[in-house]
Amino acid sequence: MTHNPTSTSCAPDSPTAPEAQTAARWAESAHLHDVEALARALGVDLHTGLAPQEAARRAALCGPNSLAQVRRRSALALLAEQFQDFMVLVLLAAAVVSGLVGEITDTLVILVIVVLNAVIGFVQAWRADQALAALRQLAAAQATVLRGGQVQTVPAHTLVPGDVVLLEAGNQIPADLRLLQIAQFQVDESALTGESVPVAKQSAPLPPQTGGALGDRSNMAYKGTTATLGRARGLVVATGMHTELGKIAQLLDTEDRSTPLQRRLAAFGRRLALVILGICLVIFAAGVLRGEDPLRMALTAISLAVAAIPEALPAVVTVLLALGARRMVAFHALVRRLPAVETLGSVTVICSDKTGTLTQNRMHAELLLACGERWTPGEPASPVHAEALRAAALCNDAVRQKSAENGENGENGNSTEEERNEDGAWLGDPTETALVLAALSAGLDKVALDAALPRVQEQPFDSSRKRMTTFHRLPGGGASAGYVAYTKGAPESVLPRCRSQWTPSGDAALEKSAVLAAASALAEQGLRVLALARREHARLPDTNDLAGVENALQFLGLVALIDPPRAEAAAAVRDCQSAGIVPVMITGDHPATARAIALRLGIVASAEAPVLTGKELAELDDAALRARVEQVRVYARVDPAQKIRIVEALQALGHFVAMTGDGVNDAPALKRADIGVAMGRGGTDVAREASSLVLLDDNFATIVAAVREGRRIYDNIRKFVRYAMTGNSGEIWTIFLAPFLLLPIPLQPIHILWVNLVTDGLPGLALAAEPAEAGIMRRPPRPPRESLFAHGMWQHILAVGLLIGGLCLAVQAWALHTGHAHWQTMVFTVLTLTQMAHILAIRSETQPLWRLGLASNLPLLGAVLLTLALQLATIYVPALNPIFKTQPLSWDELALCFGAALLVYAVVEVEKAWRRRRACAARTKVAEPHYRPGT
């Protein structure tokens, strides 16, 4: 191996990294070389992969296999952003000017308060950034590699040159690879080449004159592209920034991170800011006209503008969404796009796969039916049963994993479930592991079978074809030697391709209709039924005509597998129904199996419920489908491509659709759905990329839990907005109305800023911890376009704000009238206390506080008590009196302030009681649910 000191690689200066340097050099021309030569150059044995220690050593030298991220906002930049608000700058300027001509303490206190405000803003933004970064980390891609002779799943960023990667349809190509073995492998390279038609790959070296275009390198697979069909193995030749994608990777992270709600709030905030500025201008003018000091009036008006303009709303919404998204990870829902959190509450239909989502995906074979004879696992197998079991074990991609350390890993992306037996775990699609174990129970070991009848070619499973075929070399050699092909798949997909019934003594006639009837009868019991078939070939068929050779097959038998519904699914279906959400099952499985499971889960109420099959669906035009889609709860034998039509039909009727999916073909429907939901364990990278929510446990109940959490978070955002804006409205009313009532300006600028700081900071954020409202899953979904301020929130903000302002002014007028010298301290205190009372009262939109209990949101209780303590400190700590321009209040003065707060609390409780009564009356009136009840 020659070293090239000038080559740039992942470790350019390291003489200890010949493989890495070689990789960089060979990566350029990898398509021209023989795989064996390349493997030797990269120091790897293609049969065992790199040793784990060697992979770790190379990782240390080469760095992570990731693209240099667009730099995260640094803490300093984040802090600086907090001071960029125009009004804050104006305030600082005004404070400095007033300090120069008057009291320096005023200026200092204002500066301190502004800094504290910035710190709170910084902490909020930082927490949001952290939460988002943690989510991105969780969503990071995985890759399946061969290391130390073991197949294992590792984070894609740990790949190094020399790794042998296993790929299958749906995988994102994790690094630049030279392909070594392929089976019908196709790659969508549009991300790199712009070519939207998937490219068929091969593994032979290309002639030296092959052009430099990536699209011409048919034996390479490049990072960032996706496998759409088949399976392959590839040798990593370049990682990270050395990949072709890395070379053009400035395009990352350009996605707009703000959510629709944030954008709407920001736009609304800008309009509101203008109104508030107008009001502040009026206040300033009125004050000056009344002979107040213009500088003081300017400071008051600007302070009010700073306090009342809700510039922090979008940031707080991010915090609430991001914290909510983090909480959702705890119950296995990973949010990939933040806006999904706020829109989850609007879902009206959840379209879910059956296998693994509504069912456990822990399959076992119940029986095998061949030539009219039943065989059940554990029994000795007759010759025809044995041949069927051989087919089941050989036409099968499950792999045995001896070591227990990779318990969570699977060789292929659809395959994280595992079955253990005494020899170790079988990894693979649960349907297939169940078949391997069934064969084993009859003494047929897949490992021995694979050795005796090695697979030489295959037509992989694909959920549109619903079958797969593998080709095996028969032992013996000589003239009699040939090949046997085994096919397994859905009975309707396999039987039409069968010619006869195989028996050990020769072919027999095949009663296809009787077999299909038997398959239906098994499916009606909720069993998953597969047909098995074989065919011998003298020569290995042409790879291009594989579809043609899945013909004239010899039928072997039907195997029926049990896949029980998940225990929690039925309750989740009930939750959905009470929350006005319609659960719909869309499956590739047999209609009878689908109906039986749907009935058991309560998705349909009777065994006569209509089931629409993919074939029937294909015959309906869009209008006809729209006419049916609201009655159908179960779709069977549906191609993934048809899911998109179901989504569109539902959306055309005004539904907000969540749709699950796991395969490559599901991606368009996942993208089209309002909330695409991908499977975290069994799903493909492509499906995950296309979705906004990933179920880490593939469980239907998790979607329902996510919807519940989405509703809670949205409620809390509304509560925050209600609380913050009512407080602001109270402050504005107080200062705006005072001159009209011939009262002096009630508050100092410091008071206004202080109230804004202590009330908006902690208590507002503590609303993130507010538990879900009682009955949150008993109310209908929120219309997606409904305003955040719907259901009387505007009126509440204005009216309760007016009440707070009125109470402040009443206290001021009374204190002035009765000669209390502490009137300003009293107004200051009333303003803080009423806001604390208000936040406690609006913890629920309907339930009274005494039913919630103060202890049900301890962070909020703590924040309120802390705010009270701080407020009392400004009044009663002598050192703070001159700073805050306060005086200690007497007991009766303080009692009056608390009385005012109590009044605000009482009025809001009355408002809620009124709303409860109205909701109750409305419920009795609603007779017609949105979606017709299940048949």
Contact set with ligand ATP (CB under 6 A): 353-355, 429, 431-432, 461, 463, 466-468, 488-490, 530, 587-589
Nearer to ligand ATP, 470 or 728 (CB): 470
Residue 466 C-beta: closest distance to ligand ATP, Å: 4
By the 8 A CB rule, do 129 and 137 touch?
no
Between 30 and 533, name the residue whose CB sits nearer to ligand ATP.
533
Place of tokens 């047909």: 531
Q: Which is nearer to ligand ATP, 199 or 519 (CB)?
A: 519
Nearer to ligand ATP, 176 or 432 (CB): 432
Pairing of strands 142-147, 150-155: antiparallel
Distance CA(120)–CA(48), nearest Å, equals: 54
* Residue whose C-beta lies closest to ligand ATP: 588
Nearer to ligand ATP, 26 or 461 (CB): 461
Q: Annotated catalytic sites, by residue?
A: 353
* Cα angle for residues 305, 315, 341 (degrees, 5° grid): 140
Which of residues 384 and 395 has its CB atom nearest to ligand ATP in the complex? 395
Closer by beta carbon to ligand ATP, 393 or else 762: 393
Neighbours of 407 (CB within 10 A): 12
Cα–Cα distance for residue pair 405/403, rounded to 1 Å: 5
CB of residue 632 to ligand ATP, shortest distance in Å:
15
Minimum gap (Å) between residue 396 Cβ and ligand ATP: 7
- DSSP lists the bridge partners of residue 176 as 238
C-alpha 176/C-alpha 202 separation (Å) is 15
Task: Give first-to-last CA distance, the chain, whole Å.
Answer: 72
- In the DSSP assignment, the letter for residue 487 is E
∠325-326-330 over CA atoms, to 5°? 110
Rounded to the nearest whole angstrom, what is the least distance from the CB of residue 544 to ligand ATP in the complex? Answer: 22
Q: How far is the CB of 700 from ligand ATP (least distance, A)?
A: 11
- Provide the minimum distance between the beta carbon of 710 and ligand ATP in the complex, in angstroms, as a whole number: 24
Burial 131-145 (b: 16+ CB within 10 A, else e): bbeebeebeeebbbb
Residue closer to ligand ATP by CB (options 21, 431) is 431
Smallest distance, ligand ATP to C-beta of residue 683, A: 10
**Residue 754: strand pairing partners:** none
73 token code pair: 């906002």
Give a three-class secondary structure readout of 407-475: CCCCCCCCCCCEEEECCEEEECCHHHHHHHHHHHHCCCCHHHHHHHCCEEEEEEEECCCCEEEEEEECC
Which H or E run includes 90?
Answer: helix 86-101
Nearest to 487 by CA among 514, 457, 528: 457
CA distance 47 to 452: 19
Nearer to ligand ATP, 432 or 770 (CB): 432
Q: Chain centroid to CA 656: how far?
A: 17
The radius of gyration of the chain from alpha carbons, rounded to an integer in Å, stands at 34
CB of 130 to ligand ATP, least distance (A): 36
Q: Are 858 and 841 in contact (CB under 8 A)?
A: no
Closest contact distance (angstroms) between CB of 345 and ligand ATP is 26
10: nearest Cα among 36, 42, 49, 44: 42
CB 642 within 8 A of CB 618: yes
